[in-house]
Amino acid sequence: MLEFIISALKDFSDNNLYYTAGKVFKMIIDRSIYDSPLGKILLQSTEAGLFGLNFYNKDDFADSGSKRKNNIIDSAKRWLDIYFSGKEPDFTPPIDAAGTEFYHKVWKAVQEIPRGQTMTYHQIAEKLNCRCALPIGRALADNKVLIIIPCHRVIGSNGDLRGYSGGLERKIKLLSLEGVKIEVREKHFVS
C-alpha cells in the first residue's frame, strides 16, 4: 500500500506537488524564469517562500508560471539583480526550502559565509560540531536554493572546487564575481 501511495505522489510532482525530505509536502504555487549572465534560472515558490532557485539547462523551457504578481518571486529577482551587478544584497527573500533540521543548520551556516570568502566542508562540519564532512556535502547537494544559499562558497580542504549542482564552470564564475581568486587547475574538477 505504501509503495502505491509513494508512486501516486511521484505522479503528482509534475503538477506542482513535491514529496521531499522523507515526509514533507510542498505545493509549488508559482514559478518563473530569471535570465542571468550565467544562464536561465528557474525560480519556484510556495506560499511561504522560495522553494527553488536552480540553473535550468534546457533551451526549450517555456515559462509556465502564472502571470499574477508574486512578491516572493519578485523579491528573489531583485536579489539576483543586485547580486549579479556585483553588490551584496541587504535583504534575503523568504526561503521555504525542504530539508531536515540538520540540512537547515548547514544551509544557515553556509549563508553566514561572507561574500568573497570560502569555507571548506570540514570547517563547516567543525562549526556545527559534526565529526565528518560527508553529511555537510550531502546537505549541500540537496540545496535547491542556489546562490542565495551560497553553496558555491564551499570548497574541498585541499582547495579543490568539488561539486556544484549548477556546474563547476558556474561555480568558478560565481566565485570570480565575488572577488575570490581561483587558480583553475584540472584537479579542481573532482566530483
Residues marked as catalytic = 151
Name the nearest CA neighbour of 177 among 156, 147, 137: 147
Question: Rounded to an integer, what is the distance from CA 190 to the centroid of its chain?
Answer: 20
Q: How far is CA 72 from CA 68, 106, 146, 159, in A?
A: 12, 23, 15, 35
Cell match 570560502: residue?
A: 118
The owner of cell 511561504 is 48
Q: How far apart are CA 150 and CA 177, in angstroms?
A: 13
